[in-house]
């Protein structure tokens, strides 16, 4: 007796439809800067092509980024060395993918998801697309659980939720990388995915050994696309890191995604846009930059199974929090942590300006008592800073204002509570107890 078996053939039909029996081979006609003009191929935007180079064992990979006068415009995913007019170009018929799996934990990858040291796949990897759509907004779970970071200033006054997206805004040299390292070491996520986009080559090993440390590296995956890499590689580094985080999220894990920095990601897209012929708009940034930012940032957050809690650093020009990229990112994310150069100059680390920072989800995920205590600390700190000049010159008379009197009495305790050494860990319970003790006499 024959048994009827239902087989879903749709995935195979789609693969057959996409397959190219005859692959057209084009040729390089012109190279201007990092833009390669190719004639004779029919490839989609985002498709990866191989440029065959004589004398080189591996072809140069490039991605289609635009079209001009019947020519395809490609940008390299590597070095342009060896390319000459007439070099053969073969479309691959697919977009960029990254090999993912449990074997990635504790490893460092380049901007295209390839291991920087040796082969780490060992046959365990599976291909995962780099460019994915953000989750359906109606299928995202609501954020209702606190995710401790181990940093007192954040857990007490800027509490983060599991699946929240937060920006860390600061100028250069104020401690963004150090704060990321503290969160990576002590955060409560199952796995960390860290994207170092456009960083100096010197800083990568420094971040791994000093800021992250062996403890943080054990549960982390680092994607490093340094500043010497082509613009498209730096751009793809951000998407590769996000794709790896999505893979682990889809398996039901709680992922911590950290990206340093979104500003350099935007600069890379500006290079690509200008090369294609886009007009510069706000402060030289092309319109595609502001279209691409939400496509990157919206991919993190809550999913149907797991979550991606994301921390994105934003390098603000001249400490101006209203410059175009900072303003656009702040409008997309669920909160912002502002690092203050003035605090850093007074040896106050992490240099978090708690009065300028905000976690939009904190009121929804913490208890009423916690919310009230955090509000009291901010009130006291604001009252002290408002009268700081009078206090420093001795012009303030004790008893003139009860709130300022309380702020003066509590100021040193608040500052000591907010300061924290990079290697120091504070559990969520310890942080809440410390916060309660700060305001105990004022309740």
The answer to whether 277 and 68 have CB atoms below 8 angstroms apart is yes
pTM: 0.88
pLDDT band at 405 (very low <50, low <70, confident <90, very high): very high
φ, ψ for residue 409, nearest 5 deg: -65, -35
Q: Is the pLDDT of residue 190 over 70?
A: yes
Residue bearing tokens 């990112």:
329
Helix or strand (DSSP H, E) at 65:
strand 60-68
Supply the pLDDT for residue 204: 87
The predicted-structure confidence for 322-331, as pLDDT tens digits, reads as follows 889 999 999 9
The CATH fold of domain 369-439? Substrate Binding Domain Of Dnak; Chain:A; Domain 2 (1.20.1270)
The predicted-structure confidence for 359-368, as pLDDT tens digits, reads as follows 999 999 999 9
Length of the chain: 443
pLDDT band at 69 (very low <50, low <70, confident <90, very high): confident
Tell me the average pLDDT across 76-105.
90
Tell me the average pLDDT across 20-33.
81
The answer to whether 77 and 232 have CB atoms below 8 angstroms apart is yes
The predicted-structure confidence for 216-275, as pLDDT tens digits, reads as follows 888 899 999 999 898 999 999 999 999 999 999 999 999 999 998 899 999 999 999 998
Percent share of the chain, pLDDT over 90: 57
What CA–CA distance (Å, rounded) separates 270 from 288? 8
Q: In the predicted model, what is the mean pLDDT of the chain?
A: 89
Supply the pLDDT for residue 29: 94
> Which one, of 213, 193, 118, 129, lies nearest residue 424 by Cα?
213
Least trusted range by pLDDT, from 52-56, 60-64, 230-234, 423-427 = 52-56
Supply the pLDDT for residue 186: 84
What CA–CA distance (Å, rounded) separates 272 from 90? 22
If you ran DSSP here, which 8-state letter would residue 211 be given? I
What CA–CA distance (Å, rounded) separates 214 from 170? 26
Q: Is the pLDDT of residue 307 over 90?
A: yes
Residue spans per domain, the chain: 20-95, 98-366, 369-439
**Residue spans of beta strands (DSSP E) within 339-415:** 358-359
pLDDT band at 118 (very low <50, low <70, confident <90, very high): low
DSSP 279-330: PP-GGG--HHHHHHHHHHHTTSEE-SSSEEEEEEEEE-GGG-TTSHHHHHHH
pLDDT band at 443 (very low <50, low <70, confident <90, very high): very low
pLDDT band at 393 (very low <50, low <70, confident <90, very high): confident
φ, ψ for residue 131, nearest 5 deg: -95, 105
Q: How far is CA 76 from the centre of its chain?
A: 23
Domain 20-95: give its CATH code.
2.40.30.20
Annotate 5-42 with b (16+ C-beta within 10 A) or e (fewer). eeeeeeeeeeeeeeeeeeeeebbbeebeebbbbbeebe
CA distances from 298 to 14, 223, 242, 323 (A): 28, 19, 10, 21
The predicted-structure confidence for 121-151, as pLDDT tens digits, reads as follows 556 678 899 999 998 888 889 999 999 999 9
Supply the pLDDT for residue 5: 54
Tell me the average pLDDT across 314-322.
82
The CATH fold of domain 98-366? Rossmann fold (3.40.50)
Residue bearing tokens 């989800």:
361
What CA–CA distance (Å, rounded) separates 433 from 131? 44
What CA–CA distance (Å, rounded) separates 58 from 348? 50
């Amino acid at each position: 007796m024959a048994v009827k078996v239902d087989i879903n053939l749709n995935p195979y039909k789609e693969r057959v439809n996409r397959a190219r029996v005859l692959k057209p081979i084009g040729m390089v006609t012109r190279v201007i800067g990092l833009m390669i003009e190719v004639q004779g191929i029919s490839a989609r935007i985002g498709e990866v092509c191989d440029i065959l180079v004589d004398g080189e064992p591996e072809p140069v990979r490039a991605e289609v980024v635009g079209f001009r006068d019947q020519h395809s415009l490609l940008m390299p995913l590597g070095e342009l060395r060896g390319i000459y007019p007439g070099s053969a170009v073969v479309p691959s018929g697919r977009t960029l993918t990254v090999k993912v799996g449990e074997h990635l934990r504790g490893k460092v990858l380049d901007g295209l998801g390839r291991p920087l040291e040796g082969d780490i796949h060992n046959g365990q990897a599976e291909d995962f697309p780099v460019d994915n759509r953000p989750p359906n907004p109606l299928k995202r779970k609501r954020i209702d659980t606190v995710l401790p970071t181990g940093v007192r200033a954040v857990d007490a006054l800027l509490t983060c939720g599991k699946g929240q997206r937060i920006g860390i805004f600061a100028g250069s040299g104020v401690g963004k990388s150090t704060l990321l390292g503290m969160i990576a070491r002590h955060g409560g996520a199952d796995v960390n995915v860290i994207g170092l986009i456009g960083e100096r080559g010197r800083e990568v090993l420094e971040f791994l050994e000093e800021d992250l440390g062996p403890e943080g590296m054990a549960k982390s995956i680092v994607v490093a696309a340094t500043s010497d890499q082509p613009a498209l590689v730096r751009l793809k580094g951000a998407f590769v890191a996000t794709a790896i985080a999505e893979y682990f999220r889809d398996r039901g894990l709680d992922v911590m995604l950290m990206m340093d920095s979104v500003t350099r990601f935007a600069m890379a897209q500006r290079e690509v846009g200008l090369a294609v012929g886009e007009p510069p708009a706000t402060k030289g940034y092309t319109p595609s930059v502001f279209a691409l930012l939400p496509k990157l940032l919206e991919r993190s957050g809550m999913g149907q199974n797991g979550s991606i809690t994301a921390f994105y650093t934003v390098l603000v020009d001249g400490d101006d929090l209203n410059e175009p990229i900072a303003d656009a990112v702040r409008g997309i994310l669920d909160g912002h942590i502002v690092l203050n150069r003035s605090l850093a100059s007074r040896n106050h680390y992490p240099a978090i300006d708690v009065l300028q920072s905000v976690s939009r989800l904190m009121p929804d995920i913490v208890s009423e008592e916690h919310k009230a205590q955090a509000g009291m600390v901010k009130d006291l700190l604001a009252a002290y800073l408002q009268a700081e000049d009078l206090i420093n010159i001795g012009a303030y008379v004790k008893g003139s204002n009860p709130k300022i009197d309380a702020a003066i009495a509590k100021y040193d305790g608040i500052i000591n509570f907010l300061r924290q050494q990079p290697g120091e860990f504070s559990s969520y319970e310890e942080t809440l107890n410390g916060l309660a003790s700060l305001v105990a006499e004022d309740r």
